[in-house]
């Protein structure tokens, strides 16, 4: 009888062990590992601590929620988009660098050309001013030579026998002639087909008018001039005169005449 009870007890224990083994197998397979891999793992020194750690990790995994099955596809799509944008940014950076080089080259070229023209205008201005004001001297200078795109130009002029440092201290005639000298200097530097002057000699006395007419006589050798004037002496120097008058009918009429300088006679055109 005792042997039979012992046999039954052993059978019960074997059944318990089989259940434990099956549970262990299911637990191992639930982790995604194989039985062969599990057999190679070392026995934990503290089984209870290992079980607590496993339970904690399992809770953390459950807290993360279900796995997004399309997350990798979404990642690849966003990565492809990010790569494309990075390529575009790189292209724009390269283009910006290239444009900076071009702008820098243009700035250097503009600065060089500007300074060349400025020097020529300055030289011509000094010569023409000396012609209009014998014994006087004048020049132009940059107010901010380090920033040519923002600089202004200052006129420094001094007629003979006068200690003038500012143009505002000049007479009206002197201001007019100085301004005209600068215009003539620009015209001499870069000629154009014709120039238009509108009563530029209105503020000049006879002496200064004579100087201006001499300058105009030289200027018309290289270009044509259209001068609007009420000065008789200016008209006498013209090759062709056009007059506008209003008749009794209220309609403006144009009268044109040419002066034959060989005979001194006026010829209607």
Higher pLDDT, residue 250 or 197? 197
The pair phi, psi for residue 22, each rounded to 5°, is -65, -40
Strand partners, 257: 241, 268
Helix (H, G, I), strand (E, B) or coil at 195: strand
Convert the pLDDT of each residue in 201-210 to its tens digit.
Answer: 888 888 888 8
Taking the CA atoms of the chain, what radius of gyration do you get in angstroms? 51
pLDDT number for residue 217: 85
Convert the pLDDT of each residue in 142-165 to its tens digit.
Answer: 998 888 888 898 888 888 877 766
Cα angle for residues 192, 198, 200 (degrees, 5° grid): 100
pLDDT number for residue 266: 62
Going by pLDDT thresholds of 50, 70 and 90, the confidence category of residue 248 is: confident
Measure the CA–CA gap between 154 and 143, rounded to whole angstroms: 6
Convert the pLDDT of each residue in 2-11 to its tens digit.
Answer: 667 777 788 8
Measure the CA–CA gap between 242 and 250, rounded to whole angstroms: 19
pLDDT number for residue 82: 94
Average pLDDT score over the chain: 83
Strand partners, 226: 196
Who contacts 214 (Cβ-Cβ below 8 Å, separation ≥6)?
131
Q: Which CATH superfamily is domain 88-238 in?
A: P-loop containing nucleotide triphosphate hydrolases (3.40.50.300)
Convert the pLDDT of each residue in 22-31 to its tens digit.
Answer: 887 787 777 7
Characterize the bridge pairing of strands 194-198 and 224-228: parallel
pLDDT number for residue 200: 87
pLDDT number for residue 131: 86
Structure tokens at 93: 């950076």
Measure the CA–CA gap between 71 and 81, rounded to whole angstroms: 15
Structure tokens at 113: 């050309």
The number of residues making up the chain comes to 269
Measure the CA–CA gap between 234 and 214, rounded to whole angstroms: 11
- Is the C-alpha dihedral spanning 93, 96, 100, 102 positive or negative? positive
Helix (H, G, I), strand (E, B) or coil at 65: coil
pLDDT number for residue 261: 65
16 burial level (CB within 10 Å; 0-12, 13-18, 19+): exposed
Convert the pLDDT of each residue in 100-143 to its tens digit.
Answer: 999 999 988 988 999 999 999 999 999 989 888 888 889 999 99
**Is the pLDDT confidence value at 231 over 70?**
yes
pLDDT number for residue 258: 77
């Amino acid at each position: 009888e005792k042997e039979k009870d012992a046999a039954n007890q052993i059978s019960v224990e074997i059944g318990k062990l089989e259940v434990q083994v099956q549970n262990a197998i299911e637990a191992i397979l639930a982790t995604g590992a194989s039985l062969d891999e599990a057999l190679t793992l070392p026995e934990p020194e503290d089984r209870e601590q290992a079980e607590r750690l496993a339970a904690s990790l399992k809770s953390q995994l459950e807290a993360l929620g279900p796995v997004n099955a399309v997350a990798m596809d979404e990642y690849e799509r966003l990565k492809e988009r990010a790569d494309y944008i990075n390529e575009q940014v790189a292209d724009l950076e390269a283009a910006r660098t290239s444009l900076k080089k071009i702008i820098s080259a243009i700035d250097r070229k503009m600065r060089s050309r500007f300074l060349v023209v400025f020097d020529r205008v300055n030289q011509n201005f000094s010569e023409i001013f000396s012609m209009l004001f014998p014994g006087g001297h004048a020049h132009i200078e940059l107010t901010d030579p380090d920033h040519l795109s923002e600089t202004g130009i200052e006129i420094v002029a001094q007629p003979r026998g006068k200690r003038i440092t500012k143009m505002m201290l000049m007479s009206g005639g002197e201001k007019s002639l100085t301004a005209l000298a600068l215009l003539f200097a620009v015209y001499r530097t870069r000629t154009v087909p014709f120039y238009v002057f509108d009563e530029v000699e209105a503020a000049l006395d006879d002496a200064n008018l004579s100087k201006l007419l001499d300058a105009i006589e030289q200027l018309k050798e290289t270009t044509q001039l259209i001068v609007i004037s009420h000065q008789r002496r200016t008209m006498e120097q013209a090759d062709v005169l056009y007059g506008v008058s209003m008749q009794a009918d209220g309609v403006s009429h144009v009268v044109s005449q040419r002066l034959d300088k060989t005979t001194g006679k006026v010829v209607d055109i």
